[in-house]
Amino acid sequence: MALMISVSGIRGIFGSHLTPQNLVTFTSAYGTWLNGGTVVVGRDSRVTGQICEDIVCATLQSVGCNVIKIGIAPTPTVAMSVLQHSADGGIILTASHNPEQWNALKLLNSKSEFLDADQGKEVLDIADKCEFEYKLFDKIGTVQNDSDAIQNHIQAVLNLPYIDSDLIKSKKFKVAVDAVNGGGSVALPALLEALGVQTECIYCEPTGIFPHNPEPLPENLTEICDFVKEKSCDLGVVTDPDGDRLALVDENGRLFGEEYTQVAAFDLLLSKNPGDTATNLSSSRAADDITNKYGHTCHRSAVGEINVVKVMQEKGAVIGGEGNGGVINADLHPGRDALVGTAMILQLLAERDIKASEYRDSLPDYEMSKQKIELSNLGMDADELLKKVTEVYADQNPNTVDGVKLDFDEGWVHFRKSNTEPIIRVYSEAKTKEAANQLADKILSVIK
C-alpha cells in the first residue's frame, strides 16, 4: 500500500510507508511553503506520535519555523490554537479513524483551515522538487510549549452565546464518554466537567492503544451502548482518535446514528440564527429536511471537511458538517469539532427539556448503507467503475463533483474513491436499511 496523499492528509502505516524520511520531506516542504513563521503542532495519542512529533518539530525548526507544541490534544484544539496564537499554520499528527499502526500529517493554513487542493498541490510540488533550504545555526526556529490549549478551547466553547452552562448544569445530566484512548481522552471529560455534567468514562486514557476499532460506526460501539444503560446515563458520547467526529447514544443505549450528530447541531443553531447550511454529498437527506424546516437551503460539497468549509464560505452558511459525526461551527473555527458538538447537543436537550431518545425520535428517519469495495478485488480500476456508472445512468443526471452520486425519489447512491483508504466507498440511503442496500446492490449488479 502506498502513502496516501489527499485533502484528508498525508497518511500511511508508520515505518512502512510513513517513514522518518518522508515526514522530513513533507514537513520541510510545508515549512518552506509557509516561508517560515509560527506553526502549532499537536498530536493524538498514538504510540508513534512522540517520535513523529520530534521529527516534525525539528524539521520545522530547520527550515526556519518557530514551533508551538501543545502535545496530545484533539484536532480541533490545534485548529483553535492556530487562531489564538495568530500562527501561520498548524500540523496535527493523527491518522484519524485509521488503526493504531497508522499515522499522518494534517496541515492547516493561517486561517486554521485544512489546505485545499491548490494549496496542497503547491506543498507537494515543493516536496517533489526538494526545493527547501535548511537554515544555519543562527537562523533555526524556536520551540515553546503551550499547556493551556485544551482549556482555552473549552473556554471558547463555553463563551458561545447559545451555550448556557448554568442551564445545562441545572439538568444534572450524567454522560458516558468513550474517547477510544485517543486525543479527546482528557479534553472531552474536562469540557463536561466545566458544563457541570457528571461523567462516566471508558477508554479515556490517552495511551494510543485503541480498545476497539476506532472508527465510530455502529458495529464498533456495542460497549458504550451497554455502558450507558449500566450507569443509567442520559447520553453517551464517542469520538474518534483525534476528537473531531462525534457519535451519540441515547439513554436506552440506542445509537443516534452518526448522520444525526450534525442534524441535531443544525437544529440548535438554526433555532438561534436561521440561515443556510452545508454538508457533503454522502450525508443524509435529514440535513436537508432540518434546514428546510427553518426555510433555508442545505448546500452540498465534495467529501472532505475543507470542501464543506469552502461551500459554507461561498454560500454564507451559518453551520456545516459531515454525516460521519462532524460538526463544523464557524463561530469557533472552520473544522469539525466533537467538543462544540457535545456542548450543542447538551444545550438542545436542556433547553427543550427532552430526553435524548425523545429528541432522536422527533427527527426525520432514514437508513443508510455504507459499503466498501476493495480496489484489489474490483476487476476494474476506480476511474473505470465511476465512468461506467456515469454512462449507464446518464439519464439520471448524475452528480460528478465527487465520484458519482445518483438521486432517486426513493433514495440515493454515492460512489467515490476514499481519501483515506485504497477503496471505493458506496453509500446509499432510503427509508429502510433493506431498501438502501437494495438500491446500492441494484446499481452494482448492473455495473458488474
Please name which of 205, 216, 220, 187 lies closest in space to residue 342, comparing C-alpha atoms: 187
The whole-number average pLDDT for the span 51-65 is 98
Q: What is the pLDDT of residues 183-197, one digit of tens each?
A: 999 999 999 999 999
- The C-alpha cell at 444 is 452494482
Domain end residue (candidates: 336, 362, 388):
362
In a domain, 154, yes or no: no
In the chain, how many domains are there?
3
If asked whether residues 109 and 208 sit together in one domain, one would say no
If asked whether residues 123 and 180 sit together in one domain, one would say no
CA torsion angle 358 362 363 369 (round to 10)? 60
- Hey, which of 111-120, 121-130, 171-180 has the most confident mean pLDDT? 171-180
Measure the CA–CA gap between 20 and 16, rounded to whole angstroms: 10
- Which residue has cell 502506498? 2
pLDDT at position 275 is 98
Domain limits at 101? 4-147
Residues annotated as part of the active site: 96
Question: Contacts for 427-433 with beta carbons within 8 Å, 24 or more apart?
Answer: 427/282, 427/368, 427/369, 427/370, 427/371, 428/368, 428/369, 428/371, 429/284, 429/285, 429/366, 429/367, 429/368, 429/369, 430/366, 430/367, 431/365, 431/366, 431/367, 432/367, 433/367, 433/368, 433/369
If asked whether residues 358 and 376 sit together in one domain, one would say no
If asked whether residues 177 and 239 sit together in one domain, one would say yes
Q: What is the pLDDT of residues 312-371, one digit of tens each?
A: 999 999 999 999 999 999 999 999 999 999 999 999 999 999 999 999 999 999 999 988
CATH of the domain at 308: 3.40.120.10
In a domain, 153, yes or no: no
